[in-house]
Amino acid sequence: MKRVIVGLSGGVDSSVAAYLLKEQGYEVIGLFMKNWHDDSVTISNECPWLEDSNDAMLVAEKLGIPFQTVDLSVEYKERIVDYMFNEYEQGRTPNPDVLCNREIKFDVFLKIAVDLGADYVATGHYCRKNTIVKEGQEVYRLLAGKDNNKDQSYFLCQLSQEQLSKALFPIGELTKPEVRAIAAEQNLITADKKDSQGLCFIGKVRLPEFLQQQLKPKEGDIVEIPETYSEYKRTIPEFTSKENELAFYSEKATYSSSDGKTVGKHQGAHFFTVGQRKGLAVGGTPEPLFVIATDVNENVVYAGQGKNHKGLLRRTLYVKAGEFHWIREDLRLKPDQTLEVMARIRYRQPLEKAIVYCFDHGVYVDFENKQHAITEGQFVACYIENELVCSGIIS
Protein backbone atom coordinates (compact mmCIF):
# COMPACT_ATOMS: atom_id res chain seq x y z
CA MET A 1 0.00 0.00 0.00
CA LYS A 2 1.40 3.40 -1.01
CA ARG A 3 1.87 5.90 1.78
CA VAL A 4 0.83 9.54 1.30
CA ILE A 5 1.47 12.44 3.61
CA VAL A 6 -1.24 15.09 3.29
CA GLY A 7 -0.51 18.67 4.27
CA LEU A 8 -3.60 19.24 6.41
CA SER A 9 -3.98 23.00 6.75
CA GLY A 10 -7.24 23.02 8.67
CA GLY A 11 -9.14 24.10 5.55
CA VAL A 12 -11.81 22.30 3.55
CA ASP A 13 -9.65 21.58 0.47
CA SER A 14 -6.93 19.61 2.24
CA SER A 15 -9.54 17.84 4.41
CA VAL A 16 -11.33 16.50 1.34
CA ALA A 17 -7.99 15.65 -0.31
CA ALA A 18 -7.21 13.40 2.68
CA TYR A 19 -10.66 11.79 2.56
CA LEU A 20 -10.40 11.03 -1.18
CA LEU A 21 -6.95 9.46 -0.84
CA LYS A 22 -8.16 7.24 1.95
CA GLU A 23 -11.10 6.16 -0.24
CA GLN A 24 -8.65 5.38 -3.04
CA GLY A 25 -6.85 2.93 -0.77
CA TYR A 26 -3.72 4.87 0.17
CA GLU A 27 -2.24 4.77 3.64
CA VAL A 28 -2.77 8.42 4.63
CA ILE A 29 -0.98 10.43 7.32
CA GLY A 30 -1.99 14.03 8.09
CA LEU A 31 0.69 16.58 8.84
CA PHE A 32 0.05 20.17 9.92
CA MET A 33 2.80 22.66 9.14
CA LYS A 34 3.32 25.28 11.76
CA ASN A 35 5.16 28.00 9.89
CA TRP A 36 4.82 31.03 12.04
CA HIS A 37 4.63 31.86 15.70
CA ASP A 38 6.16 35.27 16.01
CA ASP A 39 3.24 36.97 17.69
CA SER A 40 4.86 40.38 17.35
CA VAL A 41 3.73 40.60 13.74
CA THR A 42 0.31 39.04 13.73
CA ILE A 43 -2.18 41.85 13.77
CA SER A 44 -4.98 40.33 15.72
CA ASN A 45 -4.95 38.61 19.07
CA GLU A 46 -6.58 35.57 17.55
CA CYS A 47 -4.21 32.69 17.14
CA PRO A 48 -5.11 31.36 13.71
CA TRP A 49 -2.61 28.55 13.54
CA LEU A 50 -3.87 27.05 16.80
CA GLU A 51 -7.43 27.07 15.54
CA ASP A 52 -6.31 25.65 12.18
CA SER A 53 -4.18 22.89 13.68
CA ASN A 54 -7.07 21.98 15.94
CA ASP A 55 -9.42 21.70 12.94
CA ALA A 56 -6.82 19.63 11.09
CA MET A 57 -6.55 17.29 14.09
CA LEU A 58 -10.34 16.87 14.29
CA VAL A 59 -10.48 16.05 10.56
CA ALA A 60 -7.73 13.44 10.97
CA GLU A 61 -9.59 11.93 13.93
CA LYS A 62 -12.84 11.78 11.95
CA LEU A 63 -11.06 10.09 9.02
CA GLY A 64 -9.19 7.76 11.38
CA ILE A 65 -5.72 8.72 10.12
CA PRO A 66 -2.57 9.43 12.14
CA PHE A 67 -1.81 13.12 12.64
CA GLN A 68 1.09 15.21 13.77
CA THR A 69 2.32 18.81 13.67
CA VAL A 70 5.71 19.80 12.28
CA ASP A 71 7.35 23.11 13.09
CA LEU A 72 8.85 24.66 9.98
CA SER A 73 8.98 28.21 11.29
CA VAL A 74 12.78 28.51 11.07
CA GLU A 75 12.86 27.47 7.41
CA TYR A 76 9.79 29.58 6.68
CA LYS A 77 11.39 32.67 8.15
CA GLU A 78 14.65 32.15 6.27
CA ARG A 79 13.23 31.17 2.91
CA ILE A 80 10.02 33.16 2.69
CA VAL A 81 9.79 36.01 5.18
CA ASP A 82 13.37 37.28 4.94
CA TYR A 83 13.23 37.01 1.16
CA MET A 84 9.99 39.00 1.08
CA PHE A 85 11.35 41.83 3.18
CA ASN A 86 14.47 41.95 1.06
CA GLU A 87 12.45 42.10 -2.17
CA TYR A 88 10.11 44.82 -0.88
CA GLU A 89 13.08 46.84 0.34
CA GLN A 90 14.46 46.78 -3.19
CA GLY A 91 11.14 47.92 -4.64
CA ARG A 92 10.06 44.57 -6.04
CA THR A 93 6.87 42.66 -5.28
CA PRO A 94 7.44 38.99 -4.43
CA ASN A 95 4.78 36.28 -4.50
CA PRO A 96 5.04 34.41 -1.18
CA ASP A 97 2.54 31.73 -2.21
CA VAL A 98 4.58 30.60 -5.22
CA LEU A 99 7.70 30.52 -3.05
CA CYS A 100 5.96 28.72 -0.23
CA ASN A 101 5.09 25.87 -2.60
CA ARG A 102 8.56 25.66 -4.10
CA GLU A 103 10.55 26.09 -0.89
CA ILE A 104 8.33 24.77 1.91
CA LYS A 105 5.56 22.41 0.82
CA PHE A 106 7.43 20.67 -1.97
CA ASP A 107 10.91 20.88 -0.47
CA VAL A 108 11.22 21.03 3.33
CA PHE A 109 7.86 19.31 3.86
CA LEU A 110 8.50 16.79 1.07
CA LYS A 111 11.82 15.78 2.67
CA ILE A 112 10.05 15.20 6.01
CA ALA A 113 7.45 13.07 4.23
CA VAL A 114 10.13 10.98 2.50
CA ASP A 115 11.84 10.47 5.88
CA LEU A 116 8.51 9.17 7.17
CA GLY A 117 8.55 6.58 4.40
CA ALA A 118 6.01 8.34 2.16
CA ASP A 119 5.73 7.64 -1.55
CA TYR A 120 3.88 10.92 -2.18
CA VAL A 121 2.84 14.20 -0.64
CA ALA A 122 -0.62 15.57 -1.35
CA THR A 123 -2.09 19.05 -1.07
CA GLY A 124 -5.52 20.60 -1.52
CA HIS A 125 -4.55 22.55 -4.63
CA TYR A 126 -6.98 22.95 -7.52
CA CYS A 127 -4.71 21.59 -10.22
CA ARG A 128 -3.98 18.28 -11.88
CA LYS A 129 -1.02 16.20 -12.87
CA ASN A 130 -0.57 13.48 -15.43
CA THR A 131 2.28 11.50 -16.91
CA ILE A 132 3.35 10.94 -20.49
CA VAL A 133 6.19 8.84 -21.82
CA LYS A 134 8.60 10.61 -24.13
CA GLU A 135 11.64 8.85 -25.60
CA GLY A 136 11.31 6.16 -22.96
CA GLN A 137 11.28 8.70 -20.11
CA GLU A 138 8.34 9.48 -17.86
CA VAL A 139 7.46 13.17 -18.06
CA TYR A 140 5.15 14.79 -15.50
CA ARG A 141 2.69 17.44 -16.66
CA LEU A 142 1.14 20.09 -14.43
CA LEU A 143 -2.38 20.89 -15.63
CA ALA A 144 -4.90 23.55 -14.69
CA GLY A 145 -7.64 22.52 -12.26
CA LYS A 146 -11.07 21.50 -13.57
CA ASP A 147 -12.67 24.46 -11.74
CA ASN A 148 -11.77 27.52 -13.81
CA ASN A 149 -12.70 29.81 -10.97
CA LYS A 150 -10.31 28.13 -8.59
CA ASP A 151 -7.44 26.91 -10.80
CA GLN A 152 -4.29 27.20 -8.65
CA SER A 153 -1.70 25.87 -11.08
CA TYR A 154 -0.12 29.36 -11.15
CA PHE A 155 1.02 28.94 -7.54
CA LEU A 156 2.88 25.75 -8.50
CA CYS A 157 4.65 27.30 -11.49
CA GLN A 158 8.11 26.80 -9.96
CA LEU A 159 7.89 23.06 -9.30
CA SER A 160 10.40 20.68 -10.86
CA GLN A 161 9.95 17.25 -12.46
CA GLU A 162 11.40 15.72 -9.30
CA GLN A 163 8.88 17.54 -7.08
CA LEU A 164 5.96 16.72 -9.39
CA SER A 165 6.90 13.04 -9.43
CA LYS A 166 6.08 12.91 -5.72
CA ALA A 167 3.00 15.17 -5.76
CA LEU A 168 -0.70 14.27 -5.72
CA PHE A 169 -3.55 16.74 -6.18
CA PRO A 170 -6.69 14.78 -5.25
CA ILE A 171 -9.23 17.60 -5.70
CA GLY A 172 -7.98 18.82 -9.09
CA GLU A 173 -10.87 17.16 -10.94
CA LEU A 174 -13.49 18.78 -8.67
CA THR A 175 -15.08 22.21 -8.34
CA LYS A 176 -15.17 24.07 -5.06
CA PRO A 177 -18.91 23.43 -4.52
CA GLU A 178 -18.32 19.69 -5.08
CA VAL A 179 -15.50 19.74 -2.51
CA ARG A 180 -17.72 21.47 0.05
CA ALA A 181 -20.50 18.96 -0.64
CA ILE A 182 -18.17 16.00 0.03
CA ALA A 183 -16.97 17.63 3.27
CA ALA A 184 -20.58 18.14 4.38
CA GLU A 185 -21.55 14.53 3.52
CA GLN A 186 -18.62 13.27 5.58
CA ASN A 187 -19.43 15.63 8.47
CA LEU A 188 -16.01 17.21 8.36
CA ILE A 189 -15.70 20.19 10.67
CA THR A 190 -14.14 22.25 7.86
CA ALA A 191 -17.11 21.90 5.46
CA ASP A 192 -18.31 25.50 5.86
CA LYS A 193 -15.02 27.07 6.85
CA LYS A 194 -14.17 30.22 4.91
CA ASP A 195 -11.13 30.15 2.62
CA SER A 196 -8.09 31.64 4.29
CA GLN A 197 -6.93 35.01 3.10
CA GLY A 198 -3.52 36.18 4.07
CA LEU A 199 -0.01 34.94 3.65
CA CYS A 200 0.43 31.30 2.89
CA PHE A 201 0.31 29.76 6.36
CA ILE A 202 1.05 32.85 8.41
CA GLY A 203 -2.63 33.26 8.90
CA LYS A 204 -4.39 36.51 9.51
CA VAL A 205 -1.64 38.90 8.56
CA ARG A 206 -2.30 41.84 6.29
CA LEU A 207 0.72 42.55 4.17
CA PRO A 208 1.19 46.31 4.70
CA GLU A 209 1.00 45.97 8.49
CA PHE A 210 3.30 42.97 8.34
CA LEU A 211 5.85 44.88 6.29
CA GLN A 212 5.64 47.94 8.49
CA GLN A 213 7.01 46.00 11.41
CA GLN A 214 10.27 45.46 9.59
CA LEU A 215 10.48 48.24 7.04
CA LYS A 216 10.43 51.62 8.70
CA PRO A 217 7.93 54.23 7.47
CA LYS A 218 9.63 57.09 5.63
CA GLU A 219 7.60 59.98 4.26
CA GLY A 220 7.98 60.84 0.59
CA ASP A 221 6.14 62.42 -2.32
CA ILE A 222 3.45 61.00 -4.59
CA VAL A 223 4.08 62.48 -8.03
CA GLU A 224 1.39 62.33 -10.71
CA ILE A 225 2.69 61.75 -14.23
CA PRO A 226 0.46 63.10 -17.02
CA GLU A 227 -0.49 61.08 -20.11
CA THR A 228 1.37 63.72 -22.13
CA TYR A 229 4.74 62.73 -20.60
CA SER A 230 7.35 62.97 -23.38
CA GLU A 231 8.70 59.43 -22.98
CA TYR A 232 5.29 57.99 -23.90
CA LYS A 233 5.59 59.69 -27.28
CA ARG A 234 9.08 58.48 -28.10
CA THR A 235 9.58 57.55 -31.72
CA ILE A 236 9.91 53.89 -32.48
CA PRO A 237 13.39 53.29 -33.90
CA GLU A 238 14.33 51.05 -36.82
CA PHE A 239 15.15 47.71 -35.21
CA THR A 240 18.23 45.87 -36.39
CA SER A 241 17.08 42.59 -34.82
CA LYS A 242 14.17 40.95 -33.02
CA GLU A 243 16.23 41.12 -29.84
CA ASN A 244 16.55 44.92 -30.14
CA GLU A 245 12.83 45.23 -30.70
CA LEU A 246 11.99 43.09 -27.65
CA ALA A 247 14.47 45.00 -25.50
CA PHE A 248 12.83 48.27 -26.60
CA TYR A 249 9.30 47.12 -25.77
CA SER A 250 10.25 45.56 -22.45
CA GLU A 251 11.91 48.72 -21.17
CA LYS A 252 9.90 50.52 -18.57
CA ALA A 253 9.65 54.29 -18.56
CA THR A 254 11.87 56.13 -16.10
CA TYR A 255 10.58 59.12 -14.17
CA SER A 256 11.91 61.91 -12.02
CA SER A 257 9.98 64.20 -9.73
CA SER A 258 10.20 67.05 -12.23
CA ASP A 259 8.20 65.04 -14.80
CA GLY A 260 4.93 65.56 -12.97
CA LYS A 261 3.32 67.33 -10.05
CA THR A 262 3.40 66.39 -6.38
CA VAL A 263 -0.15 65.44 -5.34
CA GLY A 264 0.33 63.90 -1.91
CA LYS A 265 2.57 62.14 0.62
CA HIS A 266 3.17 58.46 1.34
CA GLN A 267 4.85 56.58 4.19
CA GLY A 268 7.41 54.60 2.22
CA ALA A 269 7.79 53.73 -1.46
CA HIS A 270 8.61 50.12 -0.53
CA PHE A 271 5.02 49.61 0.68
CA PHE A 272 3.61 50.22 -2.80
CA THR A 273 3.40 48.03 -5.86
CA VAL A 274 2.79 48.83 -9.53
CA GLY A 275 -0.91 48.80 -10.43
CA GLN A 276 -2.00 49.45 -6.84
CA ARG A 277 -4.94 51.81 -6.37
CA LYS A 278 -5.81 51.55 -2.69
CA GLY A 279 -3.68 53.28 -0.12
CA LEU A 280 -2.69 56.35 -2.14
CA ALA A 281 -5.29 58.48 -0.37
CA VAL A 282 -5.22 61.24 -2.97
CA GLY A 283 -8.63 62.48 -4.04
CA GLY A 284 -9.94 65.13 -6.40
CA THR A 285 -8.74 63.58 -9.69
CA PRO A 286 -11.25 62.91 -12.51
CA GLU A 287 -10.10 59.28 -12.62
CA PRO A 288 -8.63 57.28 -9.72
CA LEU A 289 -4.86 57.27 -9.35
CA PHE A 290 -2.86 54.07 -9.84
CA VAL A 291 0.76 53.47 -8.91
CA ILE A 292 2.75 53.36 -12.17
CA ALA A 293 6.26 53.13 -10.66
CA THR A 294 8.12 53.34 -7.36
CA ASP A 295 11.63 54.58 -6.70
CA VAL A 296 12.83 53.17 -3.38
CA ASN A 297 16.18 54.99 -3.56
CA GLU A 298 14.60 58.43 -3.91
CA ASN A 299 11.49 57.29 -1.96
CA VAL A 300 9.04 58.56 -4.60
CA VAL A 301 5.79 56.92 -5.69
CA TYR A 302 4.73 57.77 -9.26
CA ALA A 303 1.04 57.61 -10.08
CA GLY A 304 -1.17 58.10 -13.12
CA GLN A 305 -4.88 58.57 -13.67
CA GLY A 306 -6.99 55.64 -14.78
CA LYS A 307 -6.45 51.93 -15.26
CA ASN A 308 -5.27 52.45 -18.83
CA HIS A 309 -2.67 55.10 -18.12
CA LYS A 310 0.23 54.65 -20.55
CA GLY A 311 2.62 54.11 -17.66
CA LEU A 312 0.77 50.91 -16.72
CA LEU A 313 0.73 49.20 -20.11
CA ARG A 314 3.54 47.23 -21.70
CA ARG A 315 3.53 44.32 -24.09
CA THR A 316 6.91 42.68 -23.36
CA LEU A 317 8.62 41.52 -20.18
CA TYR A 318 12.10 40.20 -19.49
CA VAL A 319 13.34 37.37 -17.26
CA LYS A 320 17.06 36.89 -16.53
CA ALA A 321 18.53 33.56 -17.68
CA GLY A 322 18.92 32.12 -14.17
CA GLU A 323 15.39 33.07 -13.18
CA PHE A 324 13.47 31.30 -15.94
CA HIS A 325 12.28 27.84 -14.93
CA TRP A 326 11.11 24.92 -17.06
CA ILE A 327 8.67 22.46 -15.51
CA ARG A 328 8.86 20.64 -18.84
CA GLU A 329 12.63 20.27 -19.13
CA ASP A 330 12.14 18.49 -22.46
CA LEU A 331 10.64 21.66 -23.98
CA ARG A 332 13.46 23.96 -22.81
CA LEU A 333 14.38 26.45 -25.53
CA LYS A 334 17.89 26.96 -26.85
CA PRO A 335 19.09 30.50 -27.64
CA ASP A 336 17.24 31.97 -30.66
CA GLN A 337 14.36 29.50 -30.34
CA THR A 338 10.77 30.59 -29.69
CA LEU A 339 7.63 29.02 -28.22
CA GLU A 340 4.01 30.09 -28.64
CA VAL A 341 2.20 30.05 -25.30
CA MET A 342 -0.74 31.40 -23.35
CA ALA A 343 0.58 33.35 -20.37
CA ARG A 344 -0.48 35.24 -17.25
CA ILE A 345 1.44 37.60 -15.00
CA ARG A 346 -0.71 37.17 -11.91
CA TYR A 347 -3.04 34.63 -10.34
CA ARG A 348 -6.58 34.63 -11.76
CA GLN A 349 -5.66 36.79 -14.72
CA PRO A 350 -7.18 35.40 -17.93
CA LEU A 351 -4.55 33.71 -20.12
CA GLU A 352 -3.28 35.83 -23.00
CA LYS A 353 -1.45 34.91 -26.21
CA ALA A 354 2.31 35.41 -26.07
CA ILE A 355 5.59 34.22 -27.58
CA VAL A 356 8.61 33.21 -25.51
CA TYR A 357 11.94 34.25 -27.07
CA CYS A 358 15.11 32.71 -25.68
CA PHE A 359 18.55 34.39 -25.70
CA ASP A 360 21.82 33.63 -23.88
CA HIS A 361 21.25 36.33 -21.27
CA GLY A 362 17.57 35.63 -20.65
CA VAL A 363 14.06 35.28 -21.98
CA TYR A 364 11.53 37.76 -23.33
CA VAL A 365 7.81 37.06 -23.13
CA ASP A 366 6.12 39.13 -25.81
CA PHE A 367 2.33 39.44 -25.47
CA GLU A 368 -0.06 39.98 -28.34
CA ASN A 369 -1.89 42.61 -26.24
CA LYS A 370 -0.39 45.14 -23.87
CA GLN A 371 -0.43 43.93 -20.26
CA HIS A 372 -1.59 45.92 -17.26
CA ALA A 373 0.96 46.52 -14.47
CA ILE A 374 3.82 44.15 -15.28
CA THR A 375 5.49 44.00 -11.86
CA GLU A 376 9.09 43.17 -11.01
CA GLY A 377 9.44 40.22 -8.65
CA GLN A 378 6.12 38.66 -9.70
CA PHE A 379 5.92 35.47 -11.74
CA VAL A 380 4.97 35.04 -15.37
CA ALA A 381 3.50 31.56 -16.01
CA CYS A 382 3.30 30.10 -19.52
CA TYR A 383 0.85 27.44 -20.65
CA ILE A 384 0.35 25.30 -23.73
CA GLU A 385 -3.37 24.57 -23.79
CA ASN A 386 -4.10 23.74 -20.15
CA GLU A 387 -0.57 22.66 -19.20
CA LEU A 388 1.80 24.93 -17.31
CA VAL A 389 5.21 24.42 -18.97
CA CYS A 390 7.48 27.20 -17.71
CA SER A 391 7.64 30.34 -15.57
CA GLY A 392 9.99 33.10 -14.55
CA ILE A 393 10.54 35.96 -12.12
CA ILE A 394 9.88 39.24 -13.92
CA SER A 395 13.05 41.35 -13.98
Catalytic residue among 100, 157, 358, 390: 100
Residue 358 annotated in active site: no
310: how many CB neighbours lie within 10 A of its CB? 19
| SS3 category, 369 | strand
| SS3 category, 67 | strand
Please work out, in degrees rounded to the nearest 5, the angle formed at the alpha carbon of residue 347 by the alpha carbons of 8 and 69: 15
Q: In what order do the strands lie in the sheet with 3-7?
A: 67-71, 27-34, 3-7, 120-122, 167-168
What phi-psi label fits residue 187: left (phi over 0), alpha (psi between -120 and 50 degrees) or beta?
Answer: left
Q: Check: CB of residue 218 under 8 Å from CB of residue 299.
A: yes
| SS3 category, 29 | strand
Q: Check: CB of residue 153 under 8 Å from CB of residue 143.
A: yes
Please work out, in degrees rounded to the nearest 5, the angle formed at the alpha carbon of residue 391 by the alpha carbons of 144 and 384: 45
Residue 47 annotated in active site: no
For residue 95, count CB atoms less than 10 angstroms from its CB and return exposed for 0-12, middle for 13-18, buried for 19 or more: buried
CA pair distance 73, 35, nearest whole angstrom: 4
Catalytic residue among 127, 200, 358, 382: 200
For residue 383, count CB atoms less than 10 angstroms from its CB and return exposed for 0-12, middle for 13-18, buried for 19 or more: buried
| SS3 category, 395 | coil
Q: Check: CB of residue 213 under 8 Å from CB of residue 40.
A: yes
Q: Considering only CA atoms, which of 314, 319, 349, 352 is closest in space to residue 333?
A: 319
CA pair distance 254, 277, nearest whole angstrom: 20
- Active site residues per annotation: 100, 200
